[in-house]
Amino acid sequence: MGLFSISLDWSMAGGRGPLFMPLSTQIHEILALVISIFAFFLVYSKSWHGAGLNQNFPFLSASLLTSDGKPYPYRQAINTDGTANEQFIQTAGLPFFTATFYLIQILTSVYLTSSLSHAVLNNYHLIGPLLKRMKSPEEIDPHRVVCHKYRDFPIWGFAVMVIVSFALTFGMSLASPSGISFAGLLVALIVSFLMTLAGGFISAVTGFQVRLTSGIQMLGGLMFPGRVFQNIWFTAYGAGSAMQAMSILQDLKFGQYVHLPQYIVVYSQLIGGGVGALATVIVMKAILKNERDVLISAHGNGVFSGAETAASQARAISWGIFSRRLFLFGQKYSTVSWGIVVGIFLPIPFFVAHKFWPRYKFNLFNVPLLLGITTGLYNCKLSDN
């Protein structure tokens, strides 16, 4: 778990960005670290759900496993079109997860919906004013007032980008064997919009960059089960679009704070996005060509690791073809699905308690932040391994 380790790597010091982290976020990080240490140790040592120490399961793993902790032959469980190979699944049985990763999936599902309810509870009083055309001067960000003297990027320009993006999205899904329906892709984009609002609020207030991939992958598997490739596309546009949107909003806000004209910031984003996409493709191809053996190894080499890809792949298969068999209510891992329901209501007690006893500062306890940090710690440690 990395206890009592010290890093002198200066790249780690600035890895969180140039802005400071609020004290409440730092306290949540320490609390999440302590909770994760004891929780992971407890569920693994007690062999929770028959997938821990006694069954020789790995301590940290995002892979699909057999009942004795060995890698599950998932490639044989799917057909070339991404559907389930029913004959093989009946022979090999259903896959298992190690106890710690099962716990992380529960926390991820709770975090996904709790972030939405947390954002609504803390911003319900702003919804009305946002719908108004005009605001009083005291309601406007003073940095925004300074930027009024500059020319804004036109609204029709943003509309054109949205239309072009939608056209490319649905066009590519039709032109490729994605397996995702029009309704599925539309739902993914709607989920992306909602999570941009919720995740953007948490990121703006706490400085913590939320992770959406695994949670949205779960949601896509429950709503549109049966195909692995469909789940991958749903995740790419449900989570990837939200992360890109939050990055764009962050840059726009930075530009406003330093009083840059909005159109210059948008032009810079468009140019940087094009150059960045090209550079990413080139670097990705180089890494895949030169570090392939490292990426497919179990633990990487400390510099390159395929852990995140392995985790995403395992989730795509488990939620793409096993969602109804593993996670539906009444099945082996149904607690993950129940977590989606619990997450909606979990922030409410702290919100109500703050209304009745404001001096105790219950509003400072951020449920999605705590859960998001805990799941992030697992992914980081998995990548280190």
Nearest 5°: the CA angle 20, 25, 29 is 115
SS3 category, 84: strand
Q: What are the sequence ranges of the domains in the chain? A: 21-126+148-384
Strand partners for 370: none
Tell me the pLDDT of the chain (385 aa) as tens digits: 566 777 676 666 666 666 678 888 889 999 999 999 999 999 999 999 889 999 999 998 888 899 988 988 888 888 888 888 999 999 999 999 999 999 999 999 999 899 989 988 988 776 666 655 555 555 667 888 888 888 889 999 999 999 999 999 999 988 888 888 899 999 999 999 999 988 888 888 888 877 788 788 888 888 888 888 899 999 999 999 999 999 899 899 889 989 999 999 999 999 999 999 999 999 999 988 888 887 776 566 667 777 677 767 777 888 888 888 888 888 899 999 899 999 999 999 999 999 999 999 898 899 999 999 998 888 666 655 5
Give me the helices (H) in 132-181, please.
142-147, 155-175
DSSP 225: -
CB 179 within 8 A of CB 230: yes
CA atoms of 324 and 279, how far apart (whole Å): 39
**Residue 381: predicted pLDDT:** 62
Structure confidence at residue 352 (pLDDT): 94
Pull the structure tokens for residue 148.
Answer: 């009024």
Burial 244-269 (b: 16+ CB within 10 A, else e): ebbeeebbbeebbeeebebeebbeeb
